[in-house]
Amino acid sequence: MRDFVLDQPGGRVVFGAGSLDAVPGEVRALGAERVMLVNDRHSRTTAETVAARLPGLVVARVGRTATHVPEHLAADAVRLARESGADLLVCVGGGSATGLAKAVALETRLRILAVPTTYAGSEMTPIWGLTGDGRKRTGRDPGVRPVCVVYDPVLTLGLPPALSAASGMNAMAHLVEAVYAPRVSPLTVTAAIEGAGALARALPGVVRDPADLAARDEALYGAWLAGWVLGTTTTGIHHRICHVLGGRYALPHAATHSAVLPYATAHNREAAGPSLAPLARALGAEDAAAGLWDLAVSIGAPTSLAAVGMRERDLDEAAALVAAERPVAGVRDLLRAAYAGARPSQESNEVTP
């Protein structure tokens, strides 16, 4: 008997090498006359290209972004959007640029056209996040989900191997948590398994040769599916942990996801039951948790919290903060395993020495 909920996103997606050229047409199709451009430092040149192709339409620009969207940056950007009378936000860059545009949309109800350049997946979701006073707040609002997303794998060619690997594991985390989400729709599970297979195939090639456009295309395809999946379902203990660690200890977002994922998957092994088997197959592994660890190691992505800057003495406080959001057994052990970073054993959440 089927029993599921599908929160179906309605945005438009344009995918393909060279799709950046489609941005001016998409902006005009949205009827925009006053564009505010938001870009991270890396995408400054790309944003300038976009601006040059929208003569007279760009009324404001924001070129400063930061992970987890600090509240003061969001407030400045909201003010600029209001003062400039912008009627569309166009963001170019990683999840931090998308996140800043979402923070503006949250306050102003402006629509967003997103051009992502990493594998974070935020562009496909109604999830916003803001950080202040060492705490990250998140929420869901359909109004912040971009109405149009332009995926151009050419824009990802410059993403360095280490960032590509960590960002790819961040996308993988969205796919993994969808597989065992309560009341997940069969469509979402199918997309999650497809996305996991695409990322597992693509990431080793991306890391070996960052300029390999076919591998980049496959990785971005997996990332699109990961974002879509994240936008259609709920997340679990893995995302909750990463959210707490990112907000409280300012750990790097994607790398933290990479470090926690194998252990969160091992932690969920029993509760998830047979639903992890197709994921393991997509990873070419017997066990999903071990397969994720192997993939991370093979692409040089972090597999330990120690490696991403977590201090051992903060583990207990972190476990308490995670449990305060929603009590869950075994978080302390999960965090200790993630801190140590050994390969998860197949039988339990214990790690092999």
CB closer to ligand NAD, 216 vs 269: 216
- Minimal distance, residue 189 CB to ligand NAD, in Å: 19
DSSP string, 122-183: GGG--EEEEEETTEEEEEE-GGGS-SEEEE-GGGGTTS-HHHHHHHHHHHHHHHHHHHT-TT
Dihedral, CA atoms, 255, 260, 95, 149, nearest 10 degrees?
A: 120
155 binds ligand NAD (CB under 6 A): yes
CB closer to ligand NAD, 290 vs 321: 321
DSSP 345: P
CB closer to ligand NAD, 43 vs 303: 43
Residues 166-185 that bind ligand NAD (CB under 6 A): 167, 170
- Minimal distance, residue 282 CB to ligand NAD, in Å: 21
CB closer to ligand NAD, 65 vs 349: 65
Which of 27, 101, 113, 230 is in the footprint of ligand NAD by CB under 6 A?
A: 230
Do the bridges between strand 148-151 and strand 12-15 make them parallel or antiparallel, or are there none, so unpaired? Answer: parallel
Could you tell me if 292 and 262 are in contact, meaning their C-beta atoms sit under 8 angstroms apart? yes
CB closer to ligand NAD, 1 vs 211: 211
Tell me, residue by residue from 263 to 292, as one string, x for binding to ligand NAD by CB under 6 A and - for no binding.
------------------------------
163 binds ligand NAD (CB under 6 A): yes
CB closer to ligand NAD, 9 vs 197: 9
- Minimal distance, residue 256 CB to ligand NAD, in Å: 10
Which is nearest to 300 in space by CA: 220, 225, 208, 223?
208
Q: Is 101 helix (H, G, I), strand (E, B) or coil?
A: helix
Tell me, residue by residue from 90 to 129, as one string, x for binding to ligand NAD by CB under 6 A and - for no binding.
---xxxxx-x-----------------xx-xxx--x-x-x
Do the bridges between strand 148-151 and strand 111-116 make them parallel or antiparallel, or are there none, so unpaired? Answer: parallel
Q: What stretches of 181-304 show up as alpha helix (H) in DSSP?
A: 186-208, 213-232, 237-249, 253-267, 269-272, 276-283, 288-298
CB closer to ligand NAD, 70 vs 278: 70
Q: For residue 327, give Cα distances in angstroms to 129, 180, 182.
A: 22, 18, 17
Helical (H) or strand (E) element with 36: strand 35-39
Residues 240-259 that bind ligand NAD (CB under 6 A): 253-254
Tell me, residue by residue from 323 to 342, as one string, x for binding to ligand NAD by CB under 6 A and - for no binding.
--------------------
Could you tell me if 95 and 34 are in contact, meaning their C-beta atoms sit under 8 angstroms apart? no
Do the bridges between strand 127-132 and strand 135-140 make them parallel or antiparallel, or are there none, so unpaired? Answer: antiparallel
Binding residues vs ligand NAD (CB under 6 A): 40-42, 67-68, 93-97, 99, 117-118, 120-122, 125, 127, 129, 155-156, 158-159, 163, 167, 170, 230, 253-254
